[in-house]
């Protein structure tokens, strides 16, 4: 069996990305265009317009960068979900068109699993308990019997969303602004700390932080208290999941994996349990095409393709609904 090459399309939220990866664990291209709204959060329809405008360019650039012709591809992967419907539809449409016109298998990648798999590949760990933290997702998971099982997750908004919205409403902008601002603070103000077993909740925390700011507390101190609380909650639930799963590796993936302070805290917790911490490299932390391409390679090797007629997007697709058959194959 020769080297398999897969092109992967990411299009779940603000980023439209095209990556190319191979079964020899090579990333040949990773081209990403991110929609930045003039103000406020992402509007799904505006992001989708951005994506459809840039899609042809991104595909062309990725192929050029990889130095291959479309004929050499062995499969087309795309994020089937979870994500924002209008954005997902753009990526799915491009992927179907490519797969049909080239006559290649279509690979329906779960976006969350792609974050995990690019993390396992680039950070080099085998069987970790995973903290997946980003603007739209917060969950603690690990592999068991054919699937990534969810040990814990947020009951309302994502950790990244909590920090982003706070930053935007406070006028300093989304992450990493709140964390940078927190470094100039130092006075701790108690905010709702909601850990329920291995689940967390952030919406009350966000409201309380905004109230504290309105109440005249220094922005630096609110940022400090908020980030410390969010990261402590995540670290505590991760600690429980580590004990529960009996694993000895921790992997941090998703946009918030870039946070220095969160990394420090998790390192400190891991030392208590003789566990090793792995972090996805910054260039693969946020949404990107390469992670879809690489996970597409795994899907291809495990035979997880899909017919075009069945390739309807899945905006609420949970990672424990997706099979991860390659793990049984030792991949």
Partner 1 sequence: MIFEAESKVIRIGAEAVVSKLEWNGLKLVSKHRVPKPYRMPDLDKWVRDRRTLHEAKIISMLKKSGVPCPAIVLMDRSESTLYMQFIEGTELRNLLHDLPKKVIEALARSLGEIVGRMHLTHVAHGDLTTSNILVDKEGRLYIIDFGLSVVTDDLEELAVDVHLLDRSLDSAHHSIREIFMRNFLKGYSSTVGREQALKIMEKVKEIRRRGRYVEERRKKH
Please identify, among the stretches 6-14, 88-96, 228-236, 297-305, the one whose residues bind partner 1 according to the rule CB under 8 A: 228-236
The backbone region for 173, taken as left when phi is positive above 0, alpha when psi lies in -120 to 50, beta otherwise, is left
- Number of residues engaging partner 1 in binding (CB under 8 A): 28
CA distance 70 to 260: 39
- Position among 306, 320, 325, 331 found at the interface with partner 1 (CB under 8 A): 320
Q: Which of 141, 235, 295, 304 binds partner 1 (CB under 8 A)?
A: 235
Binding residue (CB under 8 A) for partner 1 from 32, 141, 229, 295: 229
Q: Which residues contact 218 (CB under 8 A, 6 or more apart)?
A: 185, 187
**Is 228 an interacting residue with respect to partner 1 (CB under 8 A)?**
yes
The CA-based angle 163-18-108, given to 5 degrees, is 85
Check residue 260 for interaction with partner 1 (CB under 8 A).
Answer: no
Query: Could you tell me the end-to-end alpha-carbon distance of the chain, in angstroms, rounded to an integer?
Result: 15
Where in 57-116 is the site for partner 1 (CB under 8 A)?
A: none
Can you give the C-alpha Rg of the chain in angstroms?
A: 20
Does the bond joining 211 to the residue before it have cis omega, within 30 degrees of 0?
A: no
In this structure, what token pair is assigned to residue 55? 């899609």
| Closer of 67 and 188 to partner 1 (Cβ) | 188
Residue 229 beta carbon to partner 1: minimum distance, rounded to whole angstroms: 7
How many angstroms from the chain centroid is the CA of residue 330?
A: 23
- Of residues 132 through 151, those in contact with partner 1 by CB under 8 A are 150
CA 93, 98, 99, 101 dihedral sign is: positive
Q: Residue 10, interface with partner 1 (CB under 8 A)?
A: no
Angle at 121 between CA 298 and CA 285, to 5 degrees: 110
Nearer to partner 1, 217 or 302 (CB): 217
Residues of span 261-290 touching partner 1 by CB under 8 A:
265-266, 268-269, 272
Please name the helix (run of DSSP H) or strand (run of DSSP E) that holds residue 141, with its range, or none. Answer: strand 138-144
- Residue 207 binding partner 1, by CB under 8 A: no
The residue among 176 and 263 lying less far from partner 1, judged by its C-beta, is: 263
Verify binding: residue 243, partner 1, rule CB under 8 A. yes
Nearer to partner 1, 30 or 138 (CB): 138
User: How many alpha carbons fall within 13 Å on the CB side of residue 154?
Assistant: 24
Our CB check for partner 1 shows the closer of 251 and 293 to be 251
d(CA 156, CA 131): 17
H-assigned helices in 21-84: 44-66
Q: Which positions touch partner 1 (CB under 8 A)?
A: 150, 153, 155-157, 188, 190, 193, 196-197, 203, 225, 228-229, 232, 235-236, 239-240, 243, 265-266, 268-269, 272, 316, 318, 320
């Amino acid at each position: 069996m020769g080297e398999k090459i897969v092109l992967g399309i990411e299009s779940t939220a603000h980023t439209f990305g095209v990556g190319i990866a191979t079964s020899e664990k090579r990333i040949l291209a990773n081209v990403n265009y991110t929609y930045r709204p003039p103000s406020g959060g992402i509007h799904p329809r505006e992001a989708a317009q951005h994506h459809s405008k840039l899609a042809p360019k991104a595909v062309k650039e990725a192929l050029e960068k990889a130095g291959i012709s479309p004929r050499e591809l062995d499969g087309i992967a795309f994020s089937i979900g979870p994500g924002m419907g209008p954005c997902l539809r753009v990526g799915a449409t491009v992927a179907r068109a490519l797969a049909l016109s080239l006559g290649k298998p279509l690979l329906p990648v779960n976006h969350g699993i792609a974050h995990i798999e690019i993390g396992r590949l680039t950070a080099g760990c085998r069987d970790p308990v995973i903290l997946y933290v980003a603007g739209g997702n917060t969950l603690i998971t690990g592999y068991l019997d054919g699937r990534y099982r969810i040990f814990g997750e947020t009951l309302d908004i994502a950790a990244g969303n909590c920090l982003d919205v706070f930053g935007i409403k406070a006028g300093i902008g989304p992450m990493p602004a709140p964390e940078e601002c927190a470094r100039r603070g130092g006075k701790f103000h108690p905010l709702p700390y909601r850990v329920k077993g291995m689940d967390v909740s952030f919406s009350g925390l966000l409201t309380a932080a905004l109230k504290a700011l309105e109440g005249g507390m220094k922005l630096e101190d609110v940022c400090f208290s908020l980030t410390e609380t969010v990261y402590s909650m995540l670290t505590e639930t991760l600690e429980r999941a580590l004990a529960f799963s009996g694993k000895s590796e921790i992997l941090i993936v998703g946009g918030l994996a870039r946070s220095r302070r969160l990394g420090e805290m998790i390192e400190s917790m891991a030392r208590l349990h003789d566990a090793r911490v792995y972090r996805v490299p910054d260039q693969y932390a946020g949404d990107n095409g390469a992670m879809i391409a690489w996970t597409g390679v795994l899907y291809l090797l495990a035979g997880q393709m899909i017919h075009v007629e069945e390739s309807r997007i899945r905006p609420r697709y949970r990672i424990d609904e997706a099979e991860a058959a390659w793990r049984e194959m030792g991949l």
